[in-house]
């Protein structure tokens, strides 16, 4: 494959990988909203602590623990590890570490083959970051789903307490 075609294909590959980031972030927003809704609703229905036995706090405590785990994975997915890309003229963190003049000069003087490799390296690096984000989202979703059972038990218990 000639270099112009390689460069075009490399850009397409990078664009494809980058297009998946918005998908994982959109799904993470939904999980965050559900987590927050669940914990908010649970908190608003919690009876006074003096009126419940210790064992009646097990289900709400489990709910909070599972939702905390879900929040943790959402946090990890929102701020993945960005190490790597040393010397890259495509990777934003490396570019930001240079002066404007130094970046422009280095970019303009690089051979086309080096740029193609840099673009493909960026596609690979973003794929690694995206894999981490999807894995974290999966874990956040699993913990949210597990939290539904103790959450439901908690709300049923709280509702029964309010009956005369």
Residue bearing the bigger pLDDT, 23 or 162? 23
pTM: 0.85
pLDDT digits over 115-135, tens only? 999 999 999 999 999 999 999
pLDDT on residue 51:
77
Q: Which residues contact 37 (CB under 8 A, 6 or more apart)?
A: none
Ramachandran assignment for 149, one of left (phi > 0), alpha (psi -120 to 50 degrees), beta (any other):
alpha
- How many domains is the chain partitioned into structurally? 1
Q: Write the pLDDT tens digit of every residue in 73-123.
A: 999 999 988 777 788 888 888 889 999 999 999 999 999 999 999 999 999
Domain that holds residue 29: 3-162
12: Cα separation from own chain's centroid: 24
> How far apart, in Å, are the Cα atoms of 146 and each of 3, 51, 58, 59, 75?
51, 27, 14, 12, 18
DSSP structure string for the chain: --HHHHHHHHHHHHHHHHHHHHHHHHHHHHHHHHHHHHHHHHHHHPPPGGGS-GGGGHHHHHHHHHHHHHHHHHHHHHS------TT-SSSHHHHHTS-HHHHHHHHHHS-HHHHHHHHHHHHHHHHHHHHHHHHHHHHHHHHHHHHHHHHHHHHHHHHHHH--
pLDDT digits (tens, 9 = 90+) for 131-155: 999 999 999 999 999 999 999 999 9
């Amino acid at each position: 494959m000639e270099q112009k075609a390689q460069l075009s294909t490399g850009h397409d590959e990078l664009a494809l990988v980058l297009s998946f980031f918005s998908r994982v972030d959109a799904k993470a927003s939904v999980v965050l909203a559900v987590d927050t809704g669940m914990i908010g609703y649970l908190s608003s229905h919690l009876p006074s602590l003096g009126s419940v036995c210790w064992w009646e706090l097990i289900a709400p405590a489990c709910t909070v623990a599972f939702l905390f785990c879900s929040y943790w994975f959402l946090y990890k997915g929102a701020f993945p590890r960005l190490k790597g890309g040393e010397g890259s003229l495509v990777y934003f963190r490396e570019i930001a570490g240079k002066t404007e003049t130094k970046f422009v000069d280095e970019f303009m003087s690089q051979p086309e083959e080096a740029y193609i490799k840099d673009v493909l390296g960026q596609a690979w690096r973003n794929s690694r970051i995206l894999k981490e984000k999807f894995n974290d989202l999966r874990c956040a979703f699993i913990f949210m789903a597990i939290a539904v059972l103790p959450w439901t038990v908690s709300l049923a218990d709280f509702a029964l307490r309010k009956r005369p």
